[in-house]
Amino acid sequence: MLRLGVNIDHVATLRQARYRGRGHGEPDPVAAALAAEDAGAHGITAHLREDRRHILDADVFRLRQSIRTRLNFEMAVVPEILDVALRLGPHACCLVPEKRTEVTTEGGLDVAGSPGPVRDCTRRLVDAGIEVSLFVDPEPAQLDAAAAAGAQFVELHTGAYAEAWHSKHERNVQLERLVVAARHAHGLGLKVNAGHGLNLQNLPLLHLVPHLVELNIGHSIISRAVLVGLHAAVRDFLAALHGYPG
């Protein structure tokens, strides 16, 4: 069964648009997480950025105490956020690149280009009993480096695939990259997640990518929830995952 992780960052983004700096406000990302679970989500993802632009420290600790499924904590490889992760004790941490100027994560982590910090961060998390995933582009060198760093999972960055959707040729090129990367990662003993830019239009074709364990989806679910409600949006995505052959 292909799992669905619901990223609630954009619920916090909406809250911060009105209530930044107040320590309270609506919508509540924890309430959204509980609603997503009630609709059948298999896990909740939240990214605590260094600049705290959306998810706040208090949010992740409330999430850890409140949700019934799995908390996937997205984080940059920096000491401050690592300390939060070790105190938080989530089920999993996904190490991601982070730029102050980006609206959302723009690419995969360059594990091959900076193996030392990633390896050290991964070791500390694994030693604390936390699963570690590395968010990487679907490139063999990055997958090899992820395995060497000691990660149990990779999360394949599907952004290039999503951006190429309206060009059949380029879409197929990017899909093949994901297929090859998933097979390569599996051969290295890594478990494979995927995410970024996925929606109800481009998600069904990912059934062709083997060995996937979980898809992490945020913006499209929250966007659809504006029109149909969060329960219905989550269920629509669960239906799109149904029948994945593995």
Asked if 197 contacts 158 with a C-beta cutoff of 8 angstroms, the reply is: yes
Q: How far is CA 208 from the centre of its chain?
A: 20
Catalytic member of 42, 47, 157, 184: 47
**DSSP letter (8 states) at residue 27:** S
Q: Is 54 a catalytic residue?
A: no
Q: Can you point out the beta strands (E) in 60-218? A: 70-75, 92-95, 131-136, 153-157, 191-195, 212-217
Nearest to 137 by CA among 101, 100, 118, 110: 110
Q: Say which residue the tokens 């605590």 belong to.
A: 48
Element (H, E) at 101: none
Catalytic pick among 98, 139, 196, 214 = 196
**Annotated catalytic residue within 37, 54, 74, 139:** 74
5 phi and psi angles, rounded to 5 deg: -100, 125
Give ∠ CA 29-32-37 in degrees, rounded to 5.
Answer: 130
The 3-state DSSP class for residue 55 equals coil
Annotation marks residue 196 as catalytic:
yes
* Catalytic residue check, 47: yes
Angle at 182 between CA 110 and CA 81, to 5 degrees: 40
Active site residues: 47, 74, 196
